[in-house]
């Protein structure tokens, strides 16, 4: 029984892509800069071959890596969670999802306000922590919803849990999702509940994402079509709008993702296990917290042997990312970066795979491993790295 495990280290990019657009940062290199500032060592990732991918300040290359190693370039028109994960699953977006750097159209906000039954505050691009600090008190006084966006294709709704109960907030997000289609089909509607008082507001762990439906025929759909289970860990279920997932293991932070992934590897004997470790991006990249980012990398590295210990002879493990978010750079938005890829398994030769032309090559390789046919995009490199002569 074959099994493939994809671990996405959310935002751990390894240098600017070659096809940057105006406004993209050519100096971004999330992993390099975090290690340069924090001087964190990652011995377990080093043994796999992380330091062989690119020169890193504290993770030197090894003469005998355990995994195949390389980089992948983004091909989709985007640098966000949705486009990154979908591309990893073989679904490349030829057109960018809509973004609203000047806020959403007044007619759309008016329709949303009518549907939700609440007035709207904000309607601008902003940091989530900044906007609840700015507007949280007025929200608590009036009950109006705080609506904001970022450089990504997102419609975010912040509300204090004592003013807008979670059930109501989630229902409002579902209503917004039904409105945001067609030309306004943003990648995600995000519930952003918070607590606290003026001067000390804080976001809770009750965030929920309501994603646009993914295009048909990707890795998850193909696995299910071939009657293989598809297990999601963490926010994967939100990113794929709960489509083509047979079992979900909930997790809201890296620690919970580690625990949930171990549980998934114990319970799911074949098929696909797709996991996201969200803290790198959510807690540290978006908040320019370089020290926190480095510690999160160290914590993941510490837990890696426990993950590897759960692998079977017929398992394929891929460790990669979905975009960049360099916390050492000005601003708090994502960066369009290449991503690392490490491929480990008892049937895998530890060789260099170079720079692949698309994240979709990862999905195509997994599909090849699981023997479920071709995906809409991506070229498998399994034959190159496999030492299986059967």
| Proportion of the chain above pLDDT 90, given as a percent | 94
Q: pLDDT tens digit string along 201-242?
A: 999 989 999 999 999 999 999 999 999 999 999 999 999 999
Looking only at the bridges linking them, the beta strands covering 154-160 and 145-149 are: antiparallel
For the cut 60, the answer to whether the pLDDT of residue 390 exceeds it is no
Which secondary-structure segment (H or E) carries 5?
Answer: strand 3-9
The pLDDT score that the predictor gives to residue 332 is 87
The pLDDT score that the predictor gives to residue 206 is 92
Q: What is the DSSP letter of 243?
A: T
Pick 158 or 129 by higher pLDDT: 158
The pLDDT score that the predictor gives to residue 331 is 87
What is the average pLDDT score of the chain? Answer: 96
For the cut 80, the answer to whether the pLDDT of residue 13 exceeds it is yes
Average pLDDT over residues 357-378: 98
49 three-class SS: coil
Average pLDDT over residues 260-288: 97
Model-level pTM greater than 0.85? yes
* Residues 286 and 127 sit within 8 Å (Cβ to Cβ): yes
Q: Mention every residue, 6+ apart, whose C-beta is less than 8 A from residue 141.
A: none
For the cut 90, the answer to whether the pLDDT of residue 22 exceeds it is no
Worst-scoring range by mean pLDDT, 147-151, 190-194, 225-229? 147-151
Output 330-334 pairs: Cβ under 8 A, ≥24 positions apart: 331/25, 332/127, 332/150, 332/285, 332/286, 332/287, 332/288, 333/150, 333/151, 333/152, 333/286, 334/11, 334/79, 334/80, 334/151, 334/152, 334/281, 334/285
* Residues 276 and 234 sit within 8 Å (Cβ to Cβ): yes
Domains by residue range for the chain, with CATH: 3-95+213-385 (3.40.720.10), 106-211 (3.30.70.1250)
For the cut 60, the answer to whether the pLDDT of residue 324 exceeds it is yes
The pLDDT score that the predictor gives to residue 389 is 53
| Proportion of the chain above pLDDT 70, given as a percent | 99
* Residues 343 and 67 sit within 8 Å (Cβ to Cβ): yes
């Amino acid at each position: 029984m074959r099994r493939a495990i994809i671990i996405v280290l959310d935002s751990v990019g390894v240098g600017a892509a070659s096809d940057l657009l105006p406004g993209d940062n050519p100096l971004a290199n999330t992993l390099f800069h975090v290690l340069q500032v924090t001087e964190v060592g990652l011995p377990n990732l080093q043994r796999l071959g992380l330091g062989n991918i690119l020169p890193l300040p504290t993770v030197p290359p090894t003469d005998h890596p355990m995994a195949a190693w390389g980089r992948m370039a983004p091909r989709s028109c985007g640098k966000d969670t949705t486009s990154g994960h979908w591309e990893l699953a073989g679904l490349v977006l030829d057109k960018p999802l809509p973004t609203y750097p000047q806020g959403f159209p007044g007619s759309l906000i008016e329709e949303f306000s009518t549907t939700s039954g609440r007035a709207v505050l904000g309607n601008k691009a902003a940091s989530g922590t900044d906007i609840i600090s700015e507007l949280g008190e007025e929200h608590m006084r009036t009950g109006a919803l705080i609506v904001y966006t970022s450089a990504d294709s997102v419609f975010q709704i912040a509300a204090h849990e004592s003013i807008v109960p979670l059930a109501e907030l989630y229902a409002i997000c579902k209503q917004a999702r039904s409105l945001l289609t067609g030309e306004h089909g943003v990648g995600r509607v995000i519930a952003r509940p918070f607590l606290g008082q003026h001067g000390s507001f804080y976001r809770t762990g009750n965030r929920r994402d309501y994603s646009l439906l993914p295009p048909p025929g990707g890795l998850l759909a193909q696995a299910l079509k071939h009657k293989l289970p598809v297990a999601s860990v963490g926010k994967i279920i939100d990113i794929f709008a709960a489509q083509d997932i047979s079992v979900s293991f909930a997790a809201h932070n890296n620690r919970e993702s580690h625990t949930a992934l171990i549980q998934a590897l114990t319970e799911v004997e074949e098929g696909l296990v797709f996991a996201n470790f969200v803290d790198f991006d959510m807690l540290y990249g978006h908040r320019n917290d370089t020290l926190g980012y480095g510690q999160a990398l160290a914590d993941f590295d510490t837990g890696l042997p426990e993950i590897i210990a759960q692998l079977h002879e017929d398992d394929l493990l891929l460790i990669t990312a979905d975009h960049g978010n360099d916390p050492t750079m000005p601003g708090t938005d994502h960066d369009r970066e290449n991503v690392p890829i490490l491929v480990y398994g008892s049937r895998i030769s530890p060789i260099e795979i170079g720079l692949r032309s698309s994240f979709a090559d990862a999905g195509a390789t997994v599909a090849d491993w699981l023997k479920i046919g071709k995906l809409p995009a991506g070229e498998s490199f399994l034959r190159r790295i496999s030492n299986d002569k059967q």
